[in-house]
Amino acid sequence: MGIVKGLKQLNKALDKPQSSGGDGSKARWVKLEDGESVKVRFLQELDPDSESYIDSSGLGFIAVEHTNPADYRKKALCTMEDQGKCWGCEQHRKNYKAGWKGKSRLYINVLVYDGKEDPYVAILSQGSSGKTITPTLIEYAGEMGSISNLMWRIKRTGLKTDTSYTAIPLAKDEAPFDHSALELYKLEEVAVRDLPYDEQESFFNGEDSEQDSKSSSDLDW
């Protein structure tokens, strides 16, 4: 399982993470320090049946990724479901404690209101544990039908592995928000790295390259 879309499948991905980025230097990412908070507007929905879904905007999604435990920059999608084999899964089966287990991560376009500059489009990336906002968003989308028809405040608390995030929904829009003039990132091209099986071993074990520094996940999210 590489990329998961739709609420039904997103909930499954949270419940059962699979055995675990792309050209991220071309993107702007939401980054918060301990104690910081920011207002955001989600520019994509999590399910095509959402009342606010816009086909041209696409969907946010959960990606199941493997990361080289010795180098966080070496991250790529799990390809077991799509290709029938996955080098990261093979490493995990060889040693379950080595750190190769596939992990689920949310990627979605947002409009950031940080009070320091004009609102800007960025990619919000979060893990799928209870210490992230991912379960909150999925639950809210299922109960309320949309995550993009209102503003949210996202706050970070803690450092490194002792980090948690909260997402608080703010007042709903009185009228539909028009973001047709905004250019969203193509998440499947920018946020994640999808490799043919034959290239995976050399990628994960290869020497550092400029592309390796383009991943999003120097974050503690």
Does pLDDT of 207 surpass 60? no
**pTM given for the model:** 0.85
Does pLDDT of 176 surpass 80? yes
pLDDT tier at 214, thresholds 50, 70, 90: very low
CATH code that applies to domain 3-184? 3.90.198
Strand, coil or helix: 207: coil
Cβ-Cβ contacts under 8 Å for 124 (sequence gap 6 or more): 29, 30, 40, 42, 106, 107, 108, 109, 110, 154
**Distance from C-alpha of 187 to C-alpha of 207, rounded to nearest angstrom:** 25
On the CB side of 49, CA atoms within 13 Å amount to 8
Lowest mean pLDDT: which of 78-92, 183-197, 206-220? Answer: 206-220
Using one digit for the tens of pLDDT, what is the confidence trace for 36-52?
Answer: 999 999 999 999 999 99
Using one digit for the tens of pLDDT, what is the confidence trace for 1-49?
Answer: 577 777 766 666 555 433 334 455 579 999 999 999 999 999 999 999 9
Instruction: Please work out, in degrees rounded to the nearest 5, the angle formed at the alpha carbon of residue 125 by the alpha carbons of 192 and 68.
Output: 55
Residue with tokens 């706050």: 155
Domain residue extents for the chain: 3-184
